[in-house]
Amino acid sequence: MTARRVSETTARPDVSYVECTQLPLALAESSAHPMAVVTFGQTLSSTIPCPVIALDLPQIDGPPMAEVWTCEKPVQLHSDPDCSIAMNGTFLIGSMSLDENADRSMDAAAYKAYKTMLHRLQSLGYPYLWRIWNYFSRINDDQDGLERYQRFCLGRHHALTEMLADFPSSLPAATAVGTKSGPLQVMFLAGTQPATHLGNPRQLNAYDYPQDYGPRSPSFARATLTQSEEECRLYLSGTASVVGHASRHAGLPRAQTEETIRNIQAVFEQAQHAAGFDLIGTQRQALYKVYVRDSASHAEIQDAIMNSPLAREHVLFLHGDLCRKELLVEIEGVVISG
């Protein structure tokens, strides 16, 4: 497989973790344009001139951090009642927030969110999905006989099959994690040019999962690769202790973390092959988020990560629920090489 090139070179999405208290100063001192700020169980005291996604996913340790997306190229902001978008002619970052009310089930909410997102992407001219993050509360709760995560998968699948060209091979990397509270929140990255979406040989493609996991399969790729003259970038999906399609090591947080890291390493190998060069050897920056279901298993999960190649990277530990009850940990990341 040859990775296709993302043409514009100066319009890359820069991402970093910044201490919340330093954020106003960091943005004021930088010549870069903010595109999105994500917070974790925090509300910012200052207003930021771009979409802000406040997630009720409490940070487990360290000073409160924000995930900040910026770019060098000037940004245009688009905002309507359903959607906030920052775009620069090459890619956009968007965020949506949908309150669920009594008569709207999670499948209907997901369907509406994805239809709205895909309509915006098409009308604004950024039809290629690069990365999606999905967050909603009570992810494992039953809603009228079906788990809310499975309802989410149903609505998402319905909208994507209606509107996304080349489904499922055009599906991007994604995360779906349960918040402590809040509406359905969807953040997305999309481009004017296509990216390359990857599978993991250790795992069945999620969009091919059998119906044991829900009436419609989860619509995402294991990773997405973008390449330009100056860099190669890998967006790694939320990755868990799943081999084939089965969850492994129920009840064992350390073993789940180790299995997850083996999955991540297998995706790296796929990405190196697709990119045609040494992503690890030329790595410039890597950011990870680790979603931990129970605070009781944090120490074991952290220890497993500190004994892995991830130990040297920026890692943020967040409290969140995972999409299968037996999963205790999930890891996502962005790796920039070149």
Summarize as ranges the residues that interact with ligand 3EB (CB under 6 A). 134, 174-176, 206, 218, 220, 237-238, 240, 242, 323
Q: Closest by alpha carbon to 338, among 271, 260, 238, 266? A: 271
CB 125 within 8 A of CB 224: no
- Minimum CB separation from ligand 3EB for residue 338, in Å? 26
Structure tokens at 279: 């992503």
Indicate the residue among 125 and 244 with the shorter CB distance to ligand 3EB: 244
- Minimum CB separation from ligand 3EB for residue 237, in Å? 5
Indicate the residue among 134 and 137 with the shorter CB distance to ligand 3EB: 134
CB 190 within 8 A of CB 94: yes
Catalytic annotation present for 330: yes
- Minimum CB separation from ligand 3EB for residue 148, in Å? 12
Residue type, position 132, single letter? I
- Minimum CB separation from ligand 3EB for residue 153, in Å? 6
Indicate the residue among 51 and 238 with the shorter CB distance to ligand 3EB: 238
In the beta sheet, which residues pair with residue 65? 19
- Among residues 147, 259, 300, 330, which one is catalytic? 330
Indicate the residue among 33 and 324 with the shorter CB distance to ligand 3EB: 324
Indicate the residue among 87 and 329 with the shorter CB distance to ligand 3EB: 329
- Minimum CB separation from ligand 3EB for residue 169, in Å? 16
Indicate the residue among 134 and 337 with the shorter CB distance to ligand 3EB: 134
In the beta sheet, which residues pair with residue 317? 290
Q: Closest by alpha carbon to 168, among 121, 218, 215? A: 218
- Minimum CB separation from ligand 3EB for residue 3, in Å? 22
Compute the distance between CA of residue 151 and CA of residue 27 in angstroms, rounded to an integer: 39
Compute the distance between CA of residue 294 and CA of residue 256 in angstroms, rounded to an integer: 13
Indicate the residue among 35 and 331 with the shorter CB distance to ligand 3EB: 331
In the beta sheet, which residues pair with residue 55? 40
- Minimum CB separation from ligand 3EB for residue 9, in Å? 30
Which residues are designated catalytic? 330
